[in-house]
Amino acid sequence: MTLTLENVWRTVGDEVHIAEANLSLERGTLNTLLGPTLAGKTSLMRLMAGLDKPTKGRILFDGQDVTGVRVQDRSVAMVYQQFINYPALTVYENIASPLRIARASADEIDRKVREAAAMMKLEPMLDRTPLELSGGQQQRTALARALVKGADLVLLDEPLANLDYKLREELREELPRVFAESGAVFVYATTEPTEALLLGGNTVTLHEGRVTQFGPTLDIYRNPGDLLTADVF
Ligand code: DUT
Ligand code: MG
């Protein structure tokens, strides 16, 4: 139990984005956040990351209250749905940037950047800038940067959406292992039930801002409950 949400709400004006979220997510386990578009996946991830503050409720990490603690003051890596790269830096420097901020040694930076680049099939691109890359390569650069950061909490918001079929298959196999080994709390948002099934781990289902189910992905698949069968599995 390392990331815990206790009765977390987020309302903006009179719109409810997240209602009554109660969850405990463990390190080293892949958690898929599964729900149709507008279910609240990005909203929930932003709360987990400390990018938005809950209107009500508490968020704990490793037992410590991090409610309202800003993302800058925490160990979080998030790849946004609309991912961002630094256009003026090379791919190498884009991936290296969290390590430079953490003042890692040149050797460590080089080793970790090359490892992450190999995993994301970006080795031939390291000297280019993101503007010279395809959409999929740009997304892989953002993923590689999340990988090298070694954060306690890793949030990937629909991370494979722009990738071609083959690479998506490879990364679906690789990502769970990589992040399990990192010992992070790993959360992966998708609208695709089959993606949750392929990834295994646990699944949180979301519907209209509410957590409707949480448990081992296979259990939810076998017993999707009365709500949302059509939306989720
Ligand atoms: N919402 C807004 N404005 C925002 C963000 C969210 O009105 O800037 C509302 C729209 C929606 C709810 O919050 O009713 C949840 O949206 P969110 O973006 O969290 O949903 P999603 O599950 O991430 O959808 P998608 O799969 O389209 O990314
Ligand atoms: Mg979203």
Residue nearest atom 1 in ligand 1 by C-alpha distance: 17
Query: How close is the Cα of 31 to the center of ligand 1, in Å?
Result: 19
Above 60 in pLDDT, residue 227? no
Q: Per mean pLDDT, which range of 53-62, 103-112, 214-223 is the poorest?
A: 214-223
Closest among 210, 176, 202, 184 to 5, alpha carbons compared: 210
Q: Is 207 in the pocket of ligand 1 (CB under 6 A)?
A: no
Average pLDDT over residues 194-208: 91
Instruction: Return the bridge partners of 204, or none.
Output: 33, 214
Q: If 0-12 CB within 10 Å is exposed, 13-18 middle and 19+ buried, where does residue 129 land?
A: middle
3-state secondary structure of 50: coil
CA distance 52 to 173: 31
What is this structure's pTM?
Answer: 0.90
36 DSSP assignment: -
Q: 86 and 130 in contact (C-beta within 8 Å)? A: yes
Q: Is 43 in the pocket of ligand 1 (CB under 6 A)?
A: yes
Above 80 in pLDDT, residue 49? yes
Residue nearest atom 4 in ligand 1 by C-alpha distance: 43
Q: Is 190 in the pocket of ligand 1 (CB under 6 A)?
A: no
**CA distances (Å), 144 to each of 16, 24, 52, 91, in order?**
33, 27, 24, 10
Residue nearest atom 14 in ligand 1 by C-alpha distance: 38
Q: 40 and 209 in contact (C-beta within 8 Å)? A: yes
**CA distances (Å), 115 to each of 82, 100, 102, 147, in order?**
24, 16, 18, 9
In tens, the pLDDT along 87-100 reads 999 999 999 999 99
Q: Is 38 in the pocket of ligand 1 (CB under 6 A)?
A: yes
Q: Is 205 in the pocket of ligand 1 (CB under 6 A)?
A: no
Q: Is 23 in the pocket of ligand 1 (CB under 6 A)?
A: no
Q: Is 29 in the pocket of ligand 1 (CB under 6 A)?
A: no
Q: If 0-12 CB within 10 Å is exposed, 13-18 middle and 19+ buried, where does residue 74 land?
A: middle
Question: Residue 233's pLDDT is what?
Answer: 58
Above 80 in pLDDT, residue 226? no
- Please report, rounded to a whole number, the percentage of residues in the chain having pLDDT higher than 70: 96
Q: 47 and 37 in contact (C-beta within 8 Å)? A: no
CA distance 198 to 233: 13
Q: 1 and 26 in contact (C-beta within 8 Å)? A: yes
In tens, the pLDDT along 137-177 reads 898 899 999 989 989 999 999 988 777 888 788 888 888 88
Residue nearest atom 2 in ligand 1 by C-alpha distance: 17
Q: 203 and 190 in contact (C-beta within 8 Å)? A: no
Q: Per mean pLDDT, which range of 40-54, 116-130, 158-172 is the poorest?
A: 158-172
- HSE (side-chain half, CA atoms, 13 Å) at 185: 19
With the most atoms of ligand 1 within 8 angstroms of its CB, the residue from 38, 207, 232 to mutate is 38
Question: What is the average pLDDT value for the chain, to the nearest integer?
Answer: 90
ipTM score for this prediction: 0.92
